[in-house]
């Protein structure tokens, strides 16, 4: 259940929604992408109301879920061409080739997607979501289940999207992912945004500590745990020593 969610995502930035499992991240994304109707409140995406202008919202966005939605029986290029045809894009083959090149998949484009590594499948999935040039992309926990190298590949892809002017709303339970990618971060806990700001602003919420004359800056993990509290049920899935 969501309550007390109030946020604004600047254009051309990465906004990370950080929270543990069950915090409400996916529910919020589904409301913003018109897959769910909110019981109360209002929301606009790209200037369009999600309740009254749902079709215009859907034209403005692309949604990539927690698991890559590629057809593993098709080649990488065939996946892209299929989506381009479904979206009635002119010259689907040219669009597919451009995206394969953009995401460093040209050499693998003729191989079945089922032979791709996790990072390659996720990059292909994101490439598919960009067909039609949506200005806003929702990435719902895009690195779930990926190994460290594949996560880095996805991070590089997200940075590339933003350099191209795309606005990205990223949900994650990984603290280091939010630190690496986000221009702004909102901490969602039990359906409520309890704090938001830049990484520097969030770190400033905790006092600086000194240990044997060495200054220690608070990490995002310190901020997260101080704000939401840590219990057996709520503890983040990944901890990082600072």
pLDDT at 210: 63
pLDDT band for position 80 (50/70/90)? very high
* Structure confidence by residue, pLDDT tens digits, 3-14: 879 999 999 999
* Structure confidence by residue, pLDDT tens digits, 129-178: 889 889 999 999 888 888 888 888 889 889 988 998 999 999 999 999 99
Torsional class of 178: left (φ above 0), alpha (ψ -120 to 50), beta (otherwise)? alpha
Contact 31, 38 (CB under 8 A): yes
**Cβ-based burial of 85 (10 A; exposed 0-12, middle 13-18, buried ≥19):** middle
Residue 212: HSE in the Cβ half-sphere, 13 Å Cα cutoff: 0
pLDDT band for position 232 (50/70/90)? very low
CATH fourth-level superfamily of 14-70+116-228: P-loop containing nucleotide triphosphate hydrolases (3.40.50.300)
pLDDT at 61: 94
């Amino acid at each position: 259940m969501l309550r007390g969610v109030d946020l604004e995502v600047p254009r051309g930035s990465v906004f990370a929604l950080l929270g543990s499992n069950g915090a409400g991240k996916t529910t919020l994304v589904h409301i913003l992408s018109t897959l769910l109707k909110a019981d109360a409140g209002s929301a606009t995406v790209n200037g369009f109301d999600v309740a009254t202008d749902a079709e215009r919202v859907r034209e403005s966005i692309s949604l990539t879920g927690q698991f890559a939605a590629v057809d593993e029986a098709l080649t990488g290029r065939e996946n892209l061409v299929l989506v381009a045809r479904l979206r009635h894009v002119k010259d689907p083959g040219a669009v597919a080739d451009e995206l394969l090149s953009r995401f460093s998949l040209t050499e693998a484009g003729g191989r079945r997607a089922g032979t791709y590594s996790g990072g390659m499948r996720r990059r292909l999935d994101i490439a598919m979501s960009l067909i039609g040039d949506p200005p806003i992309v929702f990435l719902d926990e895009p690195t779930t289940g990926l190994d460290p190298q594949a996560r880095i590949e996805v991070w590089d892809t997200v940075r590339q999207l933003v350099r191209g002017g795309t606005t990205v709303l990223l949900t994650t339970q990984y603290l280091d992912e939010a630190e690496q990618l986000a221009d702004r971060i909102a901490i969602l806990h039990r359906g409520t945004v309890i704090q938001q700001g830049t990484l520097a602003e969030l770190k400033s919420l905790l006092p600086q500590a000194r240990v044997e004359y060495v200054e220690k800056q608070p990490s995002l993990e310190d901020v997260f745990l101080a704000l939401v509290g840590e219990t057996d049920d709520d503890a983040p899935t990944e901890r990082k020593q600072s």
